[in-house]
Structure 1
């Protein structure tokens, strides 16, 4: 598997369903380990008002046969910039697409959304219990007080 986007000038996909995720073979199969991606400047649009929404997204996963190539993940996450969806749909949708395509041993996502109407909304989802013996550090995103 050769990544399609790595080393190439690539435009941002117009929508999440148009984004292509690249996967490469796990370099350490049979050795459970955790991969963490943090996107502190994730944006999407409110489906009601069209106003921008902002989140700090943390994705943790234990690879199976493949790992997601980081540039393709960055482009996928960026494709939400003009996508209108509720926080819950964005957060869980990201995780479910990764699980469906990558088939990790385990995955969890934390969507720490900045306030809308004065109320921050945090959305959490995971596939199951983490594999036995896997070190899973805390996500350490503070409760809302200016997040960051």
Structure 2
């Protein structure tokens, strides 16, 4: 492993899924292109959490875009963090915005946005969007392109 990864605790090791988002460890690595304006996108089409009232499962398609400064999120730690919501009870808004804020706290990126496209329960989808500010000028940023729920008919 390189000196960039020496401090990582999960990469290259067997790891179990954290039991909660609070228990999950998000890790970062140095940005190899800190002077370049570019976006990083993570897509999690099978995100799950629990309704905090009924305990029933909720499903979402998450899209996370960010513009790094000095740090990148280490992807295995992000996968484990997102997976830790599987048994976590929280409303859609809290999950979506909380994930975005946790990444911002770790990375201090130039910019971040997260889209939570939640599948319907009771016939109504809830989509949640949060960003830190307007996207930086000159940034090429593709649309999130997650189709809205159309139902039947």
**TM-score, L = length of structure 2:** 0.93
- Match status 1:48 vs 2:53: yes
Matched residues in 2 for 1:132 and 1:145: separation? 33
The structure with the larger Rg is 2
Q: Determine the structure 2 residue equivalent to 1:78.
A: 83
| Residue pairs, 1:55-134, within 5 angstroms | 55-134=60-139
Deviation of 1:26 (Å):
0.3
4+ residue runs over 3 A deviation: none
How big is the shift at 1:68? Answer: 0.1
1:6 aligns with 2:39: no
Structure 1 stretches of 5 or more lacking a match? none
| CA root-mean-square deviation | 0.9
Unaligned runs of 5+ in 2: none
Q: TM-score of the superposition, structure 1-length normalised? A: 0.96
CA distance in 2, matches of 1:25, 1:95: 19
